Amino acid sequence: MRMIAAASAREILTGLHEVMASRATAQAKLNKVVQIIGEALASEVCSIYLRREGVLELFATRGLNQEAVHVTKLAMGEGLVGTIAEQIATLNLDEATSHPDFAYKPETGEELFHSFAGVPIIRKEDAVGVLCVQHAEPRRYEEVEIEALQTVAMVLSELIANAGLIDNAEARGSKVQNTAALRLNGLKLVDGMAKGHAVFHQPRITIEHTVAEDIEAERHRVYSAFDKMREQIDKMASQAEFGGEGEHRDVIEMYKMFAYDEGWSRRINEAIDSGLTAEAAIERVQQRTRMRMRQIDDPLLADRMHDLEDMSNRLLRIVSGQLASAAQAGLRRDTILIARNLGPAELLEYDRRRLKGVILEEGSLTAHVIIVARAMGIPVLGRVKDIRRLISDGDLLLVDVGQSAVFVRPTPAMEEAFETQLAVTQKRRAGFAALKREPPVSKDGLRVTLMINAGLRDDIAALDATGADGIGLFRTEFQFLVSATMPQRERQLRLYRDVIEAAGKKPVVFRTVDIGGDKALPYMRQDDEDEENPAMGWRAIRVALERDGLMKAQARALIEAAAGTTLNVMFPMVSEPWEFDQARAIFEKQREFLIARGKRIPREIRYGAMLEVPALAECLDLLLPKLEFISIGTNDLTQFLFAADRAHPKLAERFDWLSPAILRFLSRVVKQCDAANVPVTVCGEMGGRGLEALALLGIGIERLSITPAAVGPIKAMIRSLNVADARSVVNGLLQTPPESIRAVLGEWAMQNKVEI
Ligand code: PEP
Ligand code: MG
């Protein structure tokens, strides 16, 4: 039986190939198809039900009464056929009537038949119909016969879609919920509102042909695609850090496992044997896996399924030569980008004018891609579960990060509410803009220094637009991230000069390159290719001191760019004072070199260190006498204090910046810096959030460098705050912390009418 059935899949496909190529009408083709399948599987009955207007309609049959065609209809979930479609599952029964979902349709005359097997006809992960066979004898169909049916169902889905036999929405593969309006919730990553159409970062592959012309050629295509994919994965695994932040080491390991999984390639090969094209074979195997996984309710397996889907899509993209990312195709209209996760460089590839918002299935607040998005002013909603499954390419989306929501295919009422909210937000924003020329002075007269974080050339404009006091953190590595090749000294010099010129009298604090961690440079090879923990590994000043050619070039570019003015420079990830000494010495040497060459140099170079590694706080007494300023990078600092990867999606909401541990730590640092008369700034994302900024002022911070969009709201907060009061409240909270500092401080802010 096995052999007969195995041969039959191929036989059926050969038969179908002729039918598909013929000039007959779609209905005639379907009639022919049921004959071919019925004969091949020695079944008295073979029927095709297709979904039309939400119900499953009998479109063609061999063996049932012909009068029932286009008459018999089953709702989704009704009867065996409806169950198969709704659950996207296969049924194989020796006695159909004994199944609890069996529904008798007298017009079909099916009471004569006992055994029943049915498979869903799937289009883009959704059932658009059902193919079933019935037999007079009560017998269960063999596994290989079921597989033959599933293979045929794949081909049918192509025929059906091409012939326009089902509704457009259904042909697109939309699920019932894929046409309805939806509200999906996520995590606020970059505040803002956006309206646009869904574009998948990694577009779905459309399979054009399912039946192979030449089986050996298809096999060859799959082999070479596997080779290429394995090469890609090996490369990814051997890079010390990975482009996409979601691509953690364990994911890569999983990828590797799948890429080399013999079972997977063998099953694809078998599907090709049955007569499918390479693309259809990959998809066929994926469909089968999906069907199996649906029956197992295990979140861990679901995660693995996610990885396998990614791999399968990767293989499909390679084999079909379709584009790797939507950025390469170019955006045609207002876009909301949908992705599992993105790396900063990937985001920067998109056209900023058309990219209105981003929705991620993963994502965390201080991941660099989010910092880049914030700098670009692009709202991002993260941790939206299953978004890639629930929406279709081109769907209209309304993103309202303030509400932690995205509205999918909105109803007119949803759109109206969105527009109203948008108007409110714009009005608030106009209010903030009006504050532009007002100083950030608290109610009790403290003049706070409010600066912005920047990194791209376009960010310079934000200085004027916000009226900020300067650039407190210029992330020089962004230029490295957006370039295809290492930016040479001349190019660096030009950027720094433009920034300094545009800032005029306002100070700019340049941070030397911080690469490594989640900021990968594709063109820079890492020496240690197998870093376990890139964030705690070879990054920032550690790279710079070892590869000092890079640091020297940057030092010269900065010194030349700041000729005649004051250059403020700081070093990232300093862990011990000697690192600061060495970095400073490199700069000083370049300064002398330039003087010897008769070049103009800055009037003054002010050196600072970022405090991001907790160990440095223990040596402040040694460090403070050596430098002009300190800047606290709370993004890294908190990840190290809590031992919680800042890019790890599962930890995104676990720890609170308003925790006693962080605030007490910062408070000690501030006191020490104050005593040594060294100005201290907070430049992490924490300072751009209302309540966090309030707490920072409460522990004595008077200088903040924040994302430009936060300048208005933070200034409004400062202007409505009595800092002396805030200090005594925060002090009290740190001495005897309540269960939630956030809750108590929030309440206090509300009662005291502080604008948060
Ligand atoms: C920080 O770590 O807080 C910081 C400002 O630097 P980055 O986010 O670029 O690592
Ligand atoms: Mg940092």
Token reading at 571: 């070093």
Cα–Cα–Cα angle for 647, 706, 751, rounded to 5 degrees: 100
Tell me the sheet residues that pair with 407: 183, 398
Neighbours of 296 (CB within 10 A): 10
Q: Are residues 168 and 187 in the same domain?
A: no
Closest ligand to C-alpha of residue 374 is: 1
The closest residue, in CA terms, to atom 3 on ligand 1 is 633
The closest residue, in CA terms, to atom 9 on ligand 1 is 475
- Per-residue confidence (pLDDT) for residue 346, from 0 to 100: 74
Picking from 524, 139, 201, 483, the residue whose alpha carbon sits closest to that of residue 331 is 201
Q: Are residues 135 and 247 in the same domain?
A: no
User: Measured in whole angstroms, how far is the alpha carbon of residue 517 from the centre of its chain?
Assistant: 17
Q: What is the DSSP letter of 519?
A: B
Distance CA 317, CA 310 (A): 10
- Per-residue confidence (pLDDT) for residue 170, from 0 to 100: 47
Q: Are residues 123 and 251 in the same domain?
A: no
For the chain, what is the domain count? 3
Q: Identify whether the C-beta of residue 404 lies closer than 8 Å to the C-beta of residue 188.
A: yes
Closest ligand to C-alpha of residue 511 is: 1
Q: Are residues 363 and 459 in the same domain?
A: no
| C-alpha of residue 311 to centroid of ligand 1, in Å | 32
Q: List CB contacts of 608: < 8 A, sequence separation 6 or more.
A: 509, 568, 569, 570, 571, 627, 628, 629, 630, 631
- Per-residue confidence (pLDDT) for residue 239, from 0 to 100: 52
Atom of ligand 1 nearest to the CA of 631: 5
525 burial type by CB count under 10 A (0-12 exposed, 13-18 middle, 19+ buried): exposed
**Least confident segment among 111-115, 118-122, 440-444, 717-721:** 111-115
Q: Are residues 32 and 72 in the same domain?
A: yes
pTM score, two decimals?
A: 0.62
Tell me the sheet residues that pair with 399: 194, 406
Q: Are residues 257 and 406 in the same domain?
A: yes
User: The domain containing residue 43 runs over which residues?
Assistant: 2-172
Average pLDDT rounded to a whole number, residues 728-740: 97
Confidence tier at 517 by pLDDT (50, 70, 90): low
| C-alpha of residue 572 to centroid of ligand 2, in Å | 7
Distance CA 269, CA 292 (A): 19
Q: Establish whether residue 635 lines the binding site of ligand 1, counting it when its CB lies within 6 angstroms of any ligand atom.
A: yes
What pLDDT digit, counting tens, does each position of 181-220 carry? 899 999 999 999 999 999 999 877 778 888 888 999 999 9
Distance CA 186, CA 380 (A): 10
Looking at per-residue pLDDT, the higher value among 612 and 154 belongs to 612
Residue 526 has pLDDT above 70, yes or no: no
Token reading at 677: 């008369």
- Per-residue confidence (pLDDT) for residue 173, from 0 to 100: 44
Choose one of 172, 197, 228: the last residue of a domain. Answer: 172
Closest ligand to C-alpha of residue 368 is: 1
Distance CA 730, CA 745 (A): 8
Q: List CB contacts of 117: < 8 A, sequence separation 6 or more.
A: 90, 91, 92, 93, 132, 133, 134, 140, 141, 145, 146, 149
Distance CA 384, CA 46 (A): 42
Q: Are residues 271 and 384 in the same domain?
A: yes
What pLDDT digit, counting tens, does each position of 79-106 carry? 999 999 998 899 999 998 888 989 888 8
Phi, psi angles (nearest 5°) of residue 522: -60, -30
Mean pLDDT (the chain) is 87
Residue 525 has pLDDT above 80, yes or no: no
Confidence tier at 529 by pLDDT (50, 70, 90): low
Average pLDDT rounded to a whole number, residues 595-607: 96
Confidence tier at 607 by pLDDT (50, 70, 90): very high
- Per-residue confidence (pLDDT) for residue 166, from 0 to 100: 65
Q: What is the DSSP letter of 457?
A: G
- Per-residue confidence (pLDDT) for residue 175, from 0 to 100: 43
Atom of ligand 1 nearest to the CA of 475: 9
- Per-residue confidence (pLDDT) for residue 242, from 0 to 100: 36
- Whether 668 is in a domain gets the answer yes
Q: Establish whether residue 636 lines the binding site of ligand 1, counting it when its CB lies within 6 angstroms of any ligand atom.
A: yes
Choose one of 172, 192, 226: the last residue of a domain. Answer: 172
Residue 613 has pLDDT above 50, yes or no: yes
- Whether 433 is in a domain gets the answer no
Ligand 1 pocket mutation, candidates 189, 241, 365, 371, criterion most atoms within 8 A of CB: 371
| C-alpha of residue 657 to centroid of ligand 2, in Å | 15
Token reading at 656: 């609170």
Distance CA 631, CA 610 (A): 5
Q: Are residues 245 and 305 in the same domain?
A: yes
- Whether 31 is in a domain gets the answer yes
Which H/E stretch holds residue 542? helix 541-546
Picking from 349, 316, 355, the residue whose alpha carbon sits closest to that of residue 207 is 316
Which H/E stretch holds residue 116? strand 115-123
The closest residue, in CA terms, to atom 6 on ligand 1 is 633
Residue 2 has pLDDT above 50, yes or no: no
Token reading at 105: 């349709």
Distance CA 98, CA 476 (A): 70
Looking at per-residue pLDDT, the higher value among 355 and 646 belongs to 355
- Per-residue confidence (pLDDT) for residue 243, from 0 to 100: 39
Choose one of 153, 172, 191: the last residue of a domain. Answer: 172
DSSP labels, 605-663: EEEEEEE-SHHHHTTHHHHGGG-SEEEE-HHHHHHHHTT--TT-GGGTTTS-TTSHHHH
Token reading at 611: 């405090």
Cα–Cα–Cα angle for 30, 32, 33, rounded to 5 degrees: 65
Q: Establish whether residue 518 lines the binding site of ligand 1, counting it when its CB lies within 6 angstroms of any ligand atom.
A: no
Q: Establish whether residue 64 lines the binding site of ligand 1, counting it when its CB lies within 6 angstroms of any ligand atom.
A: no
Q: Are residues 325 and 469 in the same domain?
A: no
Q: Establish whether residue 633 lines the binding site of ligand 1, counting it when its CB lies within 6 angstroms of any ligand atom.
A: yes
Q: Are residues 444 and 384 in the same domain?
A: no
**Least confident segment among 123-132, 390-399, 593-602, 738-747:** 123-132
Closest ligand to C-alpha of residue 371 is: 1
What pLDDT digit, counting tens, does each position of 221-244 carry? 999 999 998 887 777 666 534 333
End-to-end CA distance of the chain: 73
